[in-house]
Structure 1
């Protein structure tokens, strides 16, 4: 009976889902090791687009390692900047958003700052101007000001967001510290939705658990 219950548990839908963010670890626009460069867009097809400032800075082992794989982003490139990605979402669906961040090593606390926005009010093909205009306090999901560090000390930010009725949501990241070309690092951006097991799955799991309990009771009775 125990083996049956284990099989039922293993047959339940997996909670971990594929990342809906494209190029969430910023590896698709490659820069040489030990260097950095600034781009108007990054990722295959330019999925991350610069919407304000000097562009998206990609670093590879300049001040320390990435949180995931080899590269990461600094949005205070030549000055404070912002970037966005359009993501297909389903209305009313709950998603889990996670990303890693750290202060830039050996800088002041004032120069570090990173804001994140989740925008559901725009449809497909929104302009950079309309995305930037919608990145307001009402759509802000993170306002991070990490403490100073001497080496990359990555932390994870997590937040639940809801899909848009337009079929498209916009994820925006914006540098928020002093605009001086030194700012918070960003890496490992992940958006996923975990499917809920169907009622039939719960019923089967309940039957298996009830069988296990009944077998245990019978064994206990026979031992007396």
Structure 2
């Protein structure tokens, strides 16, 4: 197989490969209820805390554990958010209500503009898998309906949004190879 065909085949595989997802599972944080600090998993956190689900037996916090011992929840049942310094894609996560079944609202911001909203109903007995696939995000805000305040989340899947420069460089490389191939064929 010649060099051009090898490169073309490799390019097809690279371009068709899914962007790898980052799993945020809170399991590296301690078991006691503690505020999640900025920088954890590369994000800025506001009003989120982490605890071992078994810390509150028989609750939705215990049922919320998908992997490992820990979950994150909105402290005091108030609005909570996480944001990134670069754009990201929220693929999916698991949500469970803390003490009473109800709705958790997720809002996705691109810059300062509210762009996506999704209400997810969940119980206190098992996590609900919520799929988003929201791209280009700068911030996610979680809120709960009045009276059903606490929401626990686990296993957030995030993907980085590829920078346009990467595609531009790859495109220029392919064009250069095509031009070289054409010159070689003209000889």
Superposed pair shares fold, TM > 0.5? yes
Aligned residues: 160
Q: 1:24 to 1:174 in 2, by over 3 A?
A: farther
Identify which of 161, 167, 171 aligns with 1:193: 161
Max radius of gyration: which structure? 1
Could you say which structure has the higher helix fraction? 2
Q: 1:96 aligns with which of 59, 84, 89?
A: 89
* CA-CA distance at 1:139 after TM superposition: 5.0
Shift of 1:9: 3.8
- In structure 2, list runs of 5 or more residues that go unmatched: 179-187
What SS does the aligned partner of 2:80 have? Answer: strand
Gaps of 5+ in 1: 122-133, 164-168, 207-224
RMSD of the alignment, in Å? 4.1
Distance in 1 of aligned mates of 2:16 and 2:64:
35
- Look up the match of 1:70: 69
Q: Is the 8 A contact 1:114 1:144 kept in 2?
A: yes
State the partner residue of 2:134. Answer: 160
Structure 2 counterpart of 1:175, from 144, 148, 170:
144
Cα distance in 1, alignment partners of residues 100 and 162 from structure 2: 39
Task: Say yes or no: does 1:42 pair with 2:36.
Answer: yes
How far did 1:173 drift? 1.8
Are the aligned partners of 1:13 and 1:195 in contact in 2 as well (CA < 8 Å)?
no
Question: How high is the TM-score relative to the length of structure 2?
Answer: 0.59
Q: Given the two structures, how large is their TM-score scaled by the length of structure 1?
A: 0.51
Assess, with a 3 A threshold, how the Cα gap between structure 1 residues 42 and 188 changes in structure 2: closer, same or farther. Answer: same
